[in-house]
Structure 1
Amino acid sequence: MRLFQIPQSALLNVVVRVTYRSEWPDGFGARGWKLDIALDDPEIIASTPSPGERINTSVLVHDILDHYVSGFPPSGHRNEAMALIQLGTRTGSDPRPDYEQMVDEDLMHGVVYGESMRSFLPPRVVQLLPLDVISGKETIDFLVNILGHDSLRSMFVERFFELGYRGVPLAQASWNRHGLGYERSTAIGTCLQWLLEEADQLLVNGAFSFGTGFFQIDNQVCQITLKEPLNTAFNKPV
């Protein structure tokens, strides 16, 4: 595809700044990209442009469209519940495996990111808890004793779905505020994925260890502009 420059005035709707490193100092040595708004969040690991096995866009595109544009911060279980419904709407993926993974790895061990266990639980379940049960681990131990492990696990998965679908009107309103058509999310996601792969390949081929830039997102065309270590831009019609 031929690349061409588009005046910045034609791409005013959404600007999302990103940073690339060949190796992030995060304890994992990850190569990839992060949103600048999440640079200081240790829960957010840099991601490569590779799409998932079941999903045709990458984690960074998920962070841009299903979190940032949809109005959900990039960390926290409640935010991820809502963002994964957006991912499913955009790509046709089933959020259940991701919900189950978060339940098994975090919630069943008493860990909830972004809020307390009590505030995350459905009100009908909170009513079962004694006042002296405070920590997340104490809450899980108590509920396993009265509900059983499998029933509690199923309840958490359904809670993720409940919270996720609550976010649909919030996301639609956020896309509208950004001047973007919610019905364009699939096409915009595919466009951003192509741009990300092009920019990433340029940095990899040049053996660059660091890069900064920004996406500009519009209903008709999207662009990624690299500012460091070189100044160039790629764009593509949606």
Structure 2
Amino acid sequence: MSIPVINAQAVTIPVRYEDSWQDGFGARGWKLDVPGRGADVIAATPYCGDRIPTSVFVHDVVDHLLCGFSLSGYVDEAAALIQLALRTHSDPVPDFQQMVDEDLIPGLGQHDDWVELLPASLNASPEGSVESRDSRLLLKGLRESLGDGALRALLTAGFVREGWKRTYDARDHWEGLGLRYPDRGATALALQELFEWMDATVREQQWMHATGQFLIHREHVTFRFSRPEEAGHQSVNVTSGR
């Protein structure tokens, strides 16, 4: 996934706000207005939770887009969650196991790339490539032959393995955008502060819709509303890390 670079010092990421998204979820909040967002991406608010000081929306910006990973698919989510763990020192395993327990083992996965999480010996099949096989039949066979416990362990390990394999790709993508990879933590915290301001603004003004752009520089981040025009912008400085 590519993000347009405005100049040598800034990257732009467009976003959209709806008071109620007509996407089957009906949630209030923000979405990144980028190609490949995926229908399964739910609108986000600045809520952080207990373990991590930044929201899911900031995770999508910092650990997905700026690292070059798409917002959909299990392999890219594995890579993004490893990036989240590296910048926050959080444990990604509970999130991996939640996807295994709620999506994959019950056969509710929305993407077939989960097969890449399997060891090569289980992924191999005389029927041909993954694309030529029914992943649901493969899953059924694995559950019958291995049992859910062993399959859960193998898929969880696959998330860690495939996520870690892409750490150098993430660094290369950050540096290719003209940003400093070691600054990910500071950038994420600045984006969280800015995101809280954005969300407070739309609620205070009672706007039903809004659009705008993040401008991510090496030293600071900025957000500018493009609709409504009277909203203005706000900047937050980012520690360079040097």
Do residues 131 (structure 1) and 127 (structure 2) align?
Answer: yes
Do residues 233 (structure 1) and 230 (structure 2) align?
Answer: no
In the alignment of these two chains, the number of paired residues is 229
- For the 8 Å contact 2:223–2:235, the answer to whether it is kept is yes
2:42 is aligned, of 36, 42, 45, to 45
Kindly provide the CA deviation profile for residues 83-127 of structure 1, in whole angstroms up to 9, marking residues without a partner as x: 000111112211111100110111113354444554443211123
Q: Which runs of 5+ in 2 are unaligned?
A: 1-5
Do residues 102 (structure 1) and 99 (structure 2) align?
Answer: yes
Whole-angstrom distance in 2 between the partners of 1:70 and 1:225: 22
Whole-angstrom distance in 2 between the partners of 1:181 and 1:40: 25
Whole-angstrom distance in 2 between the partners of 1:194 and 1:117: 34
Give the match for residue 200 of structure 1. 199
Letter in 1 for 2:98: Q
Q: Supply the RMSD in Å over aligned alpha carbons.
A: 2.1
Q: Which runs of 5+ in 1 are unaligned?
A: 1-8
Whole-angstrom distance in 1 between the partners of 2:156 and 2:7: 43
Helix, strand or coil: the match of 1:37? coil
- For the 8 Å contact 1:215–1:225, the answer to whether it is kept is yes
* Residue pairs, 1:67-146, within 5 angstroms: 67-116=64-113, 118-127=115-124, 129=125, 131=127, 134-146=133-145
- TM-score where L is the length of structure 2: 0.88
Kindly provide the CA deviation profile for residues 197-230 of structure 1, in whole angstroms up to 9, marking residues without a partner as x: 0111011011111000011112211111111113
Identity, % of aligned positions? 36
Letter in 1 for 2:237: P
Give the match for residue 212 of structure 1. 211
Kindly provide the CA deviation profile for residues 37-84 of structure 1, in whole angstroms up to 9, marking residues without a partner as x: 158621111101111221110111111110100000111011100000
Whole-angstrom distance in 2 between the partners of 1:233 and 1:75: 30
- TM-score where L is the length of structure 1: 0.89
